Structure 1
Amino acid sequence: MIPEVIVIDDDPIILKRAWNILTDVGFKVIVLKSGKALLEHIKDNSAPDIILMDISMPEMDGFEVIKELKKCENGWRDTPVIFLTANEDEEVETKGLSLGAMDFIRKPFIASVLVIRVQHAVELIRLQRNLEGLVDAKTKENENLFLHVVECLADAIDAKDKYTNGHSGRVAEYSREIAKRYGYDEKRQEKIFMMGLLHDVGKIGVPDEVINKPGKLTDEEFACIKKHPAIGGKILGNIKEMPELAAGAKWHHERFDGRGYPQGLAGEEIPEEARIIAVADAYDAMTSNRSYRGALAQEIVRGEIEKGKGSQFDPKFADIMLAMIDDDKEYLMRDDHDNHGAKNY
């Protein structure tokens, strides 16, 4: 791929010389007479490999232009800039480098020096981008592997309770949808999805006969069940690379009014993601078949979520859940073996 260079200078002689030198060695060169011309060029064109820019220009100097480049949200922000300057002032160089300039080339420039410096800069930037691409691909591969392991673990947790197969996956989906509607970016949505998958990991430490008991639990058995958030928090707290995972497991049974467990946290003392998962978890509990009852009717579930606003649930996340219920005209968002579980968003 032919490297592209933009040269910006208010001196037409400099522009012509730079164009001749760089096109002769195979570069595609675009010449512009001012910083304002570059900002106009940005609107309809993709970023080049590198920008060579004079510092002392009328209307906008090079320093002002590079500041504007850093505000761009496309590839222009990261386009390397080499300043062309006849000034040997150390303060000027320091300022340029602090603003993000890659290097300086003195004017009047020597043709061979200009070519070598630009070639080296382009090679370095392309190598860096290739390495970043490889790192991103490897990171994505590792993330996918981690997600697969988490999904398998969530399936193992759900398998302890024959009545709530798929519970963790549904809670993860509902949590992600609430987070999306609340404004989380994709990265945070994926994190809360992971937290939702693992929110019940502490049930590993609860006996199967307690989890699957068809009748009402005794006080002792309920006390045993109530240990699972603390157990889950302890298990996931060992994953130092993602400390937020533990929050969903440890605090999804806290209540907004402070009457939950294990710590009796209230309001915004409860981590935000745990408040989201709490609503999703309660919704799935009501819309799932249990040992002691079938899934509740949609209008009953809606009424319970409404009733829990400000007491059991953070009102803003309860309102989002209510909107999701209202959008679900056919009541597909529930544990239903006929439609294979949760509605896909």
Structure 2
Amino acid sequence: MRQTVVLLVDGNEGDRQRLHQILDPRVKLKEVASGREALSYIKQHNVTLVLLASKLPDMGGFEVLRKIHQEPRFKDLPVIMIVQDQSQKAEAAVAMAGGFDIIRKPFIPIIVVKKVEQVLELEYLHSNLKEEVHRQTQLAEDRLASSERLFEETVMALAKTIDAKDAYTRGHSQRVARYARHIAYKLGWLEEEQRRIYFMGLLHDIGKIGVPEAIINKTTHLTDEEYDKIKQHTVIGSEILDLVAEFPELAIGARSHHERYDGKGYPDGFAGSQIPVYARVIAVADAYDAMTSRRSYRDVLPQDVVRGEIVKGRGTQFDPQFADVMLQIIDEDDEYMLHER
């Protein structure tokens, strides 16, 4: 904490000596005799309180007070005016000028001491309150950052656990999350929205935890019963993520990423705007990764084939707006490297 300094500004040497006797050694008192000296000293040193005579050799005390408070960094510096006037008008004048209080001449020691101590105590509490608020704010920010890191690490670990069930789609969830975030970026979504859809993409397939690996890794055609079990991963995933109260939207990507724009998807058969917007974005990203990933039964599809499938699904499988953004991304990927990164 900075040292407490009281600046006494008074051209009357006798008054300065008298105040020095009253206040010493209670406070560290610095004395100057003119307004110019006072303004110069305040700019160069930390001052806690100013005792300012209303009349000075070079300018009026009220002018000095006005110049002090004109400076933004000194606008809250408390000033006690030293006045000869015994009327209530003096108090009103000081208050209207922005002074904190007044000390009248002739000085009454106990009143001088109490008024100075009152200001210094208030400044001490104010200073400590600011420091405590800053400390608590920093502590809260540190805890929030730590909590966010833990959340991100947990989500990433879950995504890797999900992808590990399928030997041919390692990294699928991370890629879908990146593609979805890139689409959101292209759409001009806010950074927080991009962050949200990224996490939704990471966990969109979490429901596969409840699907037998034998079905997930099957290389031959799935039976109707097996396909029904695969489709259940959307419901299982949403039920798992519904438990995350702090991020209620997280379940959206898991439940609805297999809905189709024409209403022929699952599990709810939603169509068009019925499908949550985040899920419509993830659906395009998921399809792109499915076509650009190596599978047990085929290699990565050529880029022109992938593009053709996105065009074909525009307005039927995919929301046209998000399909168009994905097509733009594909067209910008001249060397077909996006899926390799």
Following superposition, the deviation at residue 22 of structure 1 comes to 6.5
Length, aligned pairs only: 267
RMSD of aligned C-alpha atoms? 3.6
Structure 1: distance between partners of 2:195 and 2:265: 26
Match of 1:273 among 278, 287, 292: 278
Match of 2:164 among 159, 163, 166: 159
Q: Check conservation: 1:309, 1:315, Cα contact below 8 A.
A: yes
Q: Check conservation: 2:66, 2:97, Cα contact below 8 A.
A: no
Residues 270, 52 of structure 1: alpha-carbon distance in 2 compared, 3 angstrom cutoff: farther
Is 1:310 paired with 2:301?
A: no
SS of the equivalent of 1:275 reads helix
Match of 1:200 among 205, 219, 231: 205
Is 1:292 paired with 2:313?
A: no
Give the equivalent residue in structure 2 for 1:109. Answer: 100
Give the aligned residue type for 1:224. Answer: K
Is 1:26 paired with 2:47?
A: yes
Deviations 1:167-225 (A, max 9, x none): 00101111111112222222222221111111000011111111111122121111111
Is 1:180 paired with 2:201?
A: no
Deviates more, 1:16-25 or 1:255-264: 16-25
Structure 2: distance between partners of 1:140 and 1:20: 43
Give the aligned residue type for 2:297. Answer: Y
Following superposition, the deviation at residue 127 of structure 1 comes to 2.5
Residues 129, 256 of structure 1: alpha-carbon distance in 2 compared, 3 angstrom cutoff: farther
Deviates more, 1:134-143 or 1:277-286: 134-143
- For residues 64-75 of structure 1, the aligned pairs below 5 Å read none
Give the aligned residue type for 1:262. Answer: P
Residues 151, 122 of structure 1: alpha-carbon distance in 2 compared, 3 angstrom cutoff: same
User: Which ranges in structure 1 are unaligned for 5 or more consecutive residues?
Assistant: 4-14, 42-47, 54-85, 88-103, 335-340
Following superposition, the deviation at residue 300 of structure 1 comes to 0.9
Residues 154, 22 of structure 1: alpha-carbon distance in 2 compared, 3 angstrom cutoff: same
Give the equivalent residue in structure 2 for 1:212. Answer: 217
Following superposition, the deviation at residue 110 of structure 1 comes to 2.1
- Larger Rg, first or second structure (1 or 2): 2
Q: Check conservation: 1:105, 1:114, Cα contact below 8 A.
A: no
Structure 2: distance between partners of 1:187 and 1:238: 21
User: Which ranges in structure 2 are unaligned for 5 or more consecutive residues?
Assistant: 4-34, 51-64, 78-91, 103-115
Deviates more, 1:136-145 or 1:222-231: 136-145
SS of the equivalent of 1:168 reads helix
Structure 2: distance between partners of 1:278 and 1:192: 12
Give the aligned residue type for 2:140. Answer: V
